[in-house]
Chains A and B, each alone.
Chain A
Amino acid sequence: MGGTVSANHDRSNLLEVRGLTKIFGTLTACDHIDLNIAKGEIHALLGENGAGKSTLVKMLFGSLEPNSGEIFWDGKPVKITSPGVAKKLGIGMVFQHFSLFEALTAAENIALSLNDGSPISTIAAKARALSFSYGLPLDPDSLVGDLSVGERQRIEIIRCLLQTPQLIILDEPTSVLTPQEADKLFETLERLRSEGKSILYISHRLEEVKRICDRATVLRHGKVVGHCNPREETAASLARMMVGSEVKAVVRAPAEGIETAPALLEIRGLSRKPATPFAIPLKNINLTVRAGEVIGIAGVAGNGQGEFFESVSGEVLQHDAGSVRIRGKDAGGLSITGRRLMGAAFVPEERLGHGAAPRMKLSENLLLSRHATDGKAFVGSGGTVKNGAVYSAAQRIIKAMDVRKSAPDPEAAALSGGNLQKFIVGRELDRRPSVMIVNQPTWGVDAGAAAHIRQALIELARSGSAVLVISQDLDELFELSDAIAVIHNGELSTPLPIAEATFEKVGLLMGGAEPGHAEHSLEVA
């Protein structure tokens, strides 16, 4: 950088970043980023997935090394070479993907990040005291593997606060919380600000940024595209800054005659014992999805969504064949292929390694999932693959879903997350399935692609299919569902019609406030 180095290192700035750049191979994840964080402010870092937010904060916390650029802490130039150095300066971090150890207790987890020699019992007592003073109750002796995601985040926050940092970095903290838990978090953040601490708040949820942040820096494709005061912006104007263009709103035509439409997916008394000690058991789940409707399943991560999807998709078979019925026939004893042949389609949560084989081409991935259902089209007599037919089908999907790629038929791993997700969803939609089950349809997908996927799911339903969407993103579920059910601790509530559903009602169910049949639990045992 040959630019002029101005001398105005304002002492009111706790952290100042100049021209920070990080290059991975041919991708410039962060391109000359400038960022100032003042003392006692909540500063938002906004951007879509893949905009470079996580890369930037990893450099600030010392877990990644910048290729070039300068960092000033309290006006003095510093090199943050490791998380240890960051902690010594007074930077604390609450990670997006939790950095906790499941097999250890909360206190042990906290002790690991504090470098003083005090015994675990002292640390446990300190953690307990601090957690109560912030209204984030925590049992230091509990095993992390047993805790809910919200409770785990509490540990992360308490662990961070015990280091008495001046700057706290929170990476997408509310993506795993119920609305009520998020409110509690905002109270804590406001209290920290009043104590003079600075907070760098990373999010793509615009409403909460508008609510609690004093200033915002917006990233797009690794570059800073603007600074603003989020309180003076609208959610739409912030979205425009993040995305760079208008985002098309999803249109959901009202569903008609659903009550009399045939039930295409029926789940009756589905239960499942936990396969591992930290897994969630499923408890007597009942759900009907009729032709023409989209049902959403909300819930905080780790409440049985994964187990439920595995059971319904046939990755795990049921003892009672009648517990999963597809188009009026028992399917509980059938494998994934068996259920696909009945007209169902599945999109799992994990794209690479589950939804697609990373090192195989898109056309090969298409064949892998549809060799049985499209046997006649894709496989000739004698078991030879009709490469031409598979290739042209793959191109048809790529075109329909607007998948952006660098080669005509690239490896799955070469696509960005959002584009691969479009292909995987498109691969199933292309079959016009009668029953479509999707787990986290737009996780980590940019706003434009997400809108495209959601619109396609709604259109599939309106053309007479039954669509079931499991998601942690409440905004998404309210956008595309005709009714929302909530999964909590392996139990599924009755679906709330979208006209009656509010964030508050769904949030309470997500927190386990009303476990389905409240009246029964009131009876004296």
Chain B
Amino acid sequence: MDITVNILLTIATAATPLLIAAIGELVVERSGVLNLGVEGMMIMGAVGGFGAGYLTGSPWIGLLAAIIVGALFSLLFAVMTLSLATNQVATGLSLTLLGLGLSGMIGTSFVGQPGVRLPNLDIPGISSIPIVGKLVFGQDPVFYISIALTAAVMWFLFRTRTGLTLRSIGDSHTSAHALGIKVIRYRYLAVIFGGACAGLAGGHLSLVYTPQWVENMSAGRGWIALALVVFASWRPWRVLAGAYIFGAVWIGQLHAQAFGIPVPSQFLSSLPYLATIMVLVLISRNKRLTMMNTPASLGQPFVPDR
């Protein structure tokens, strides 16, 4: 029983950073902006979070710092692509490269240092209930944030006026502009929100997942988050499903490798990617629905003519 609970817990821990980064990017892409810099923002959040936690001794301050660093880093992208109308793909790629390099430089003195870890939730009496206690009431705080964030984004996008406006900008920025909607302002806010989420996801890596600093520790999770958004056809609950399928197969294949199952380890390592893509492709078979949810102006720079 304990093993099952532990496996479920590790799945949640593996899925949480993917979910947070992907939900953030989902909001960005729903506004019509393609930010390929998720990996870079995530690793910057990880190094910032670790550094602040290590220097102050408080993991909470570390988490806050991760969010702020991610948001500030995305601001760079926003200024370039929104105010200066640079190519979003090229700018996003350079943001990732910059983040990977910069974080390595900042983090040189952190390598090998003991980090601080965010404590798991512990409600006396309840968290110790077998199985349910640990799974529902005994996880790390970022896990709860990720679930709340998904629900909040769903509500925001499909139940609020501001969410409708954001989606309309993603569908056609010229039409939105013609109606007097402040396209650039909305996009700035969306990009910064995405950056804050990526930063938080990075903070989860260096303050919860493995509370230490290792160069390049995001290990491609930003790219997986990006892929999740597309394969989930820009729908929050599918992103959640995708993140957890990925987490589950990831943990599953690790255990399989540990058991020494006679399958090439390279194949096992690629399973999470294959499984996630297959499941998400299957649930987005409805072309019409996918079309409706795809932000039509995704990746196109917007320059209002005045």
Contact = CB atoms under 8 A, between A and B. Distances in A.
Interface residues on B, range: 20 to 34
Contacts of A276: 291
A124 to B, nearest CB: 13
A112 B292 contact: no
A63 B175 contact: no
Interface string B157-182: 00001001101100110111111110
A84 B181 CA distance: 8
6 contacts: A65-B306, A83-B179, A101-B171, A103-B167, A112-B176, A120-B164
Nearest to A88: B180
Given A83-B178, A99-B179, A103-B171, A108 B296 contact: no
A113 B179 contact: yes
B254 to A, nearest CB: 40
A264 interface: no
A111 B161 contact: yes
Interface string A209-245: 0000000000000000000000000000000000000
B178 A95 contact: yes
A101 B178 contact: no
B5 to A, nearest CB: 43
Contacts of A111: 161, 164
A64 B175 contact: no
A64 B305 contact: yes
Interface residues on A, range: 20 to 34
A112 B174 contact: no
A277 B179 contact: no
A103 B178 contact: no
A278 B180 contact: no
Contact of A87 (B165, B174, B180, B287): B180
B293 interface: yes
Contacts of B176: 101, 112
Interface in A83-121: 83-84, 86-87, 95, 98-104, 108-109, 111-113, 117, 120
A112 B288 contact: no
A82 interface: yes
A62 B161 CA distance: 23
Interface of B: 161, 164-165, 167-168, 171-172, 174-181, 287-288, 291-294, 296, 305-306
A419 to B, nearest CB: 23
Given A64-B305, A65-B306, A143 B292 contact: yes
Given A65-B306, A99-B179, 14 more contacts: A83-B180, A86-B180, A99-B174, A99-B178, A102-B171, A102-B296, A103-B292, A104-B167, A104-B168, A104-B171, A112-B179, A145-B292, A276-B291, A277-B291
Contact of B172 (A101, A113, A117, A278): A101
Contacts of B174: 99
B178 A278 contact: no
A243 B189 CA distance: 49
A57 B293 CA distance: 33
B170 to A, nearest CB: 9
Nearest to B305: A64
A275 to B, nearest CB: 10
A62 B181 CA distance: 12
A143 B292 CA distance: 9
A65 B291 CA distance: 35
Contact of A100 (B175, B180, B181, B292): B175
Given A64-B306, A277-B287, A278-B291, A103 B296 contact: yes
A62 B175 CA distance: 14
Nearest to A143: B292
A111 B165 CA distance: 9
Interface string A130-172: 0000000000000101000000000000000000000000000
Give the interface centre of A63, A84, A117, A145 by most chain B CB atoms within 10 Å. A63
A84 B180 contact: yes
Given A63-B178, A112-B181, A103 B164 contact: no
